[in-house]
């Protein structure tokens, strides 16, 4: 029995905030941000619900399905519209879904955790699951704090996962968490995101490399077999360091953070969508999807596209 990725969609706010614009109010520069992170601009606006609705609708359409075909909605978000209720039921309501729905919070690994959750739900009788990553990080950014303000952006990405008893796109999954590192990246109630950037960077490279190596081993593929890496988009230097250690050239890696910044749970589906639009997703080819984030949490999976 297996899981097939059937359709994808994204939702982005229209408002583009460039590094240049941030430099007008913060002690920073386009040069520093681009050099140290790879980010050139980010999108700002919307909410987890409003962006998630757009991405979800687009994914259902892309899959050639109707809302009635969806059995479950799993929303990955770190920035739900409200603490309670969860944002997933509100998205389901706006989409016209008549099914169970819930939020998953695993920070920047959220989309991967949501896919893994959906995989389990497909094993227990559901047939099609809408998985959305949606973030409104800008709401929890102190715009006078250059440490965080230059990094984060808003956006959403979604996929429909379908049960298939004849085979699977998902060949392996490795997830982990380490709450002893919880204080490295936090957002307290009523507060703003704060991070020990250097330490997160160091640990991020390690957990991405370790989990990706395990995922490739379980899938019985080598770095040479991986046609495309779809990594969480936090910092291009993290992506370069991790792929170099894995022995996978950067040409085989998707980078979208230059346009969207770090969009947490949304970054992997946004990167996937970009790769597909650019003809980089090919049937029969292997991809490594890998994410890490606050918690700390991490997740890597090897997939082989069937469509």
Note whether 194 binds ligand UT7 by CB under 6 A.
no
Per CB under 6 A, which of residues 274..293 are in contact with ligand UT7?
Answer: 293
Which listed residue (2, 18, 30, 32) binds ligand UT7 by CB under 6 A?
32
* Per CB under 6 A, 198 contacts ligand UT7: yes
Q: Which is nearer to ligand UT7, 70 or 108 (CB)?
A: 108
Compute the least distance from the CB of residue 175 to ligand UT7, in Å.
16
Cα(44)–Cα(4) distance, integer angstroms:
32
Tell me whether residue 147 or residue 306 sits nearer to ligand UT7 (CB atom): 147
Euclidean distance between CA atoms 49 and 225, whole angstroms:
38
The binding track of 202-221 with respect to ligand UT7, each residue x by CB under 6 A or -, is --x-----------------
CA distance 254 to 303: 15
What's the token pair of residue 290?
């890998």
Q: Which of residues 141-160 bind ligand UT7 (CB under 6 A)?
A: 146-147, 150
Residue 79 found at the interface with ligand UT7 (CB under 6 A): no
Tell whether residue 161 is a contact of ligand UT7 (CB under 6 A).
no
Going from the C-alpha of 98 to that of each of 59, 135, 235, the distances in angstroms are 17, 23, 38
CA angle 154, 189, 81 (to 5 degrees): 40
Residue numbers annotated as active site: 108, 232, 262
In this structure, what are the phi and psi dihedrals at residue 142, rounded to the nearest 5 degrees? -85, 105
291: Cα separation from own chain's centroid: 7
Q: What minimum distance in Å lies between the beta carbon of 282 and ligand UT7?
A: 28
Between 192 and 305, CB nearer to ligand UT7 = 192
197 binds ligand UT7 (CB under 6 A): yes
Q: Can you give the length of the chain in residues? A: 307
Taking the C-alpha atoms of residue 211 and residue 95, their distance in angstroms, rounded to an integer, is: 35
Total residues at interface with ligand UT7 (CB under 6 A): 19
Token pair recorded at residue 116: 């893994």
Nearest Cα neighbor of 113 from 55, 159, 175 is 175
In the bound complex, which residue of the shown chain has the CB atom lying closest to ligand UT7? 197
Point out which residues bind ligand UT7 (CB under 6 A): 28, 32, 36-37, 108, 146-147, 150, 185, 197-198, 200-201, 204, 234-235, 238, 262, 293
């Amino acid at each position: 029995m297996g899981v097939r990725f059937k359709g994808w969609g994204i939702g982005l706010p229209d408002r583009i905030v460039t590094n240049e614009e941030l430099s007008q109010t913060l002690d920073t520069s386009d040069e520093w941000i681009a050099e140290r992170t790879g980010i050139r601009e980010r999108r700002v606006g919307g909410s987890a619900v409003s962006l998630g609705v757009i991405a979800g609708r687009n994914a259902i359409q892309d899959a050639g399905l109707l809302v009635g075909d969806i059995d479950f909605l799993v929303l990955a978000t770190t920035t739900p519209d409200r603490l309670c209720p969860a944002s997933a039921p509100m998205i389901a309501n706006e989409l016209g879904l008549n099914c169970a729905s819930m939020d998953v919070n695993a920070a920047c690994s959220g989309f991967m955790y949501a896919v893994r959750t959906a995989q389990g739900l497909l094993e227990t009788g559901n047939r099609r699951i809408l998985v959305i990553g949606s973030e409104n990080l800008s709401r929890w950014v102190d715009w006078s704090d250059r440490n965080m303000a230059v990094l984060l952006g808003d956006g959403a990405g979604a996929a429909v996962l379908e049960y298939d008893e004849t085979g699977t796109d998902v060949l392996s999954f490795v997830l982990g968490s380490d709450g002893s590192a919880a204080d490295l990246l936090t957002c307290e109630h009523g507060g703003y995101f704060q991070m020990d950037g250097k330490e997160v960077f160091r640990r991020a490279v390690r957990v991405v490399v370790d989990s990706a190596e395990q995922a490739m081993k379980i899938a019985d593929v080598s770095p040479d077999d991986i046609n495309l890496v779809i990594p969480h988009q936090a910092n291009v230097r993290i992506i370069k360091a991790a792929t170099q250690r894995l022995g996978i050239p950067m040409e085989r890696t998707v980078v979208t953070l230059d346009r969207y910044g770090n969009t947490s749970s949304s970054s992997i589906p946004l990167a996937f969508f970009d790769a597909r639009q650019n003809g980089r997703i090919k049937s029969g080819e292997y991809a490594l999807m890998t994410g890490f984030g606050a918690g700390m949490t991490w997740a890597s999976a090897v997939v082989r596209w069937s469509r």
